[in-house]
Amino acid sequence: MVTITLRGQAINTNGELPNIGEQAPDFKLQNAKLQDKTLADFTGKKILLNIVPSLDTPVCAKSTKRFNGLAAEHDDVFMLIISADLPFAQGRFCGVEKLKNIQPLSMMHSRKFAKDYGVLLVDGPLSGLTARAVIIIDEQGKVIYTELIGEVSHEPDYDTAMTVLAG
């Protein structure tokens, strides 16, 4: 369990992010067409997981738009935005914002992804959603970067994530 904050109030995750060098846990998430997607569907390129509580919040929306812009410069990377939002809501958001470089994935069927990646919030007003985190996985499925944002209302460290992707 890791303690982070939401507007200064302590809240807890169910565990810790995967360790750098470990094989990334497999997952089954749903895309906009309600198709199951697994880690294996994204082999051959690095994968950036931008894990957010909900695209219906200002910071999540901002980070998603920022990663969409950065994805345009990194066609060698799958940039996945993962939230508990329904695929329909994710699709609407991406359509309205004209986001075409990222792939939103939903945890609508299960919170297993959040549990396996240690980002499930277990208490507080966002309980059942995810903490904000960025995880980068290399072409062989190994975790090469993790960032759990200590304050849910803060944005991730885009520069460091992009440096890792470039390296």
* Ranges 24-33, 63-72, 133-142: which has the least confidence: 63-72
In 3D space, the residue among 126, 86, 133, 130 whose CA is nearest the CA of residue 105 turns out to be 86
* pTM for this model (two decimals): 0.94
Q: Among this protein's residues, is 60 annotated catalytic?
A: yes
| pLDDT tens profile 89-136 | 999 999 899 998 889 999 999 999 999 999 999 999 999 999 999 999
| pLDDT tens profile 81-101 | 999 999 999 999 998 999 988
Given the residues 60, 70, 119, 136, the one annotated as active site? 60
- 120 within 8 A of 130, measured Cβ to Cβ: yes
| pLDDT tens profile 18-39 | 999 999 999 999 999 999 999 9
pLDDT over 90 (residue 74): no
The CATH architecture that domain 3-166 belongs to is 3-Layer(aba) Sandwich (3.40)
